[in-house]
Structure 1
């Protein structure tokens, strides 16, 4: 069996199964004790993914939000980057569907496979069969930018004002990038910093589907760093990237402050 193809399937199947376990936890425990549910969700999904990857890919280190960092990953050619429960707050709130499970493979400097399960939406987006990206946006449609629902996105608000865009509040970073993949939004931009596991899997799928994904200065997103931290990110339709990168520069210059201000 082709190993690269098999890695795609492993990412998809594990993300989907972890998501199903999280749905069962929600059904069993309800939402009366959100902190308990969040803790159970993080632990259950991490333990399942970590154990499954240890069985299926025993030679590959795992970088997980919920696990201790394994320094062996810095010398490895293959590292799995996982977020067992992205959007923990939303997971613990009844009726919310904007939470996700992320499973990605970094290999020799690149993201080579990835999957984002959206369990409450009944879907998993993956590099096995990435979403089809329409060739063009509907003419005259207002731009839509996904933004955090819990933190005041001042930079995003300034940018949306300049572009005349609508801001669509949403939880998980994975759900936001998937919203761009599915045509619910056009742009995901974040300048407040995030960990690698917040974006590795959705970026892998976004790139495979043909979306633009970069730092907000247009430089390359890099993963499996010594400090697993990314200061900023832009994901959008490829034909919008030049305009958006210029808008980001203009907003920063006009305000006399970097785009991280207020995030």
Structure 2
């Protein structure tokens, strides 16, 4: 652990701090640039949040590598033992559609093959979910399985899965928000099969692991990070009570 310059902050604190600072910046940009909308606002948020996150990580953990959605991929990370995997703005569409709050900031630390720290900030809700501060899962209500799905563009795969399960689809925005909806009890499962990169899932998966969940690929195989090709196209995050039922339905659709 590289803590020589900031011994007061462990890796979990660094993840949360970077997520909080980036979230505050994004909220300020959204407020200060009321004249911007659509792609202009998306691009501004992505760029400025990336710049801040990289600067903070270089200050707090100068010996670590960084993989960011918005940065050039430096191959030095492939030989590094510690790599921060970040998404400066998860859900640019939602961010640009004021006053939507279902967008997020992702910060995760991969170390020697494992995710060891992570935070998912949902700035417009004033929430930062941390890997090291798990909350007890709220009791699951009676009724059908609740599946998180894109509010604006539900994929056919998840619609078919819901039909197989007899599930209820619950619309919401970014990948991080959907994964955290499992953690906070809003939904029972989040299944994505439409294509993602490592930065889309690393922090949500870290937080889910910290909360005792067992995220996997759709086929049940492990999620592996810091690979040469960061494409990691699918993900399953589910409450323990429904995991077997969801896996059986996925097997039927395979």
Q: Is the 8 A contact 2:145 2:242 kept in 1?
A: no
**Farther off after superposition, 223-232 or 125-134:** 125-134
Partner of 2:41: 37
Distance between the aligned counterparts of 1:231 and 1:21, measured in 2? 29
Partner of 2:60: 56
* Matching of residue 10 in structure 1 with residue 19 in structure 2: no
What displacement does 1:78 show? Answer: 0.4
Partner of 2:140: 137
What displacement does 1:32 show? Answer: 4.6
Q: Is the 8 A contact 1:125 1:131 kept in 2?
A: no
**Farther off after superposition, 107-116 or 164-173:** 164-173
Distance between the aligned counterparts of 1:250 and 1:142, measured in 2? 18
For structure 2, the 5+ residue unaligned runs are none
Distance between the aligned counterparts of 2:129 and 2:116, measured in 1? 15
**Farther off after superposition, 147-156 or 115-124:** 147-156
Q: Is the 8 A contact 1:87 1:98 kept in 2?
A: yes
Distance between the aligned counterparts of 1:112 and 1:133, measured in 2? 21
* Matching of residue 128 in structure 1 with residue 128 in structure 2: no
Partner of 1:261: none
Q: Secondary structure at the match of 1:194?
A: coil
Q: TM-score, normalised by structure 2?
A: 0.94
Partner of 1:258: none
Q: 1:25 to 1:69 in 2, by over 3 A?
A: same
Distance between the aligned counterparts of 1:157 and 1:127, measured in 2? 30
Q: Secondary structure at the match of 1:246?
A: helix
Q: TM-score, normalised by structure 1?
A: 0.91
Q: 1:146 to 1:124 in 2, by over 3 A?
A: same
What displacement does 1:232 show? Answer: 1.1
Distance between the aligned counterparts of 1:174 and 1:12, measured in 2? 14
Q: Is the 8 A contact 2:182 2:190 kept in 1?
A: yes
Partner of 2:91: 87
Aligned residues: 250
Q: Is the 8 A contact 1:133 1:210 kept in 2?
A: no
What displacement does 1:141 show? Answer: 2.4
Distance between the aligned counterparts of 1:33 and 1:218, measured in 2? 40
Partner of 1:168: 170
Q: Is the 8 A contact 2:19 2:106 kept in 1?
A: yes
* Matching of residue 114 in structure 1 with residue 118 in structure 2: yes
**Farther off after superposition, 144-153 or 108-117:** 144-153
Q: Secondary structure at the match of 1:79?
A: strand
Give per-residue Cα distances to partners, 1:79-128, cap 9 Å, x unaligned. Answer: 00000000001001112011000000000100000000100011100123
**Farther off after superposition, 70-79 or 122-131:** 122-131
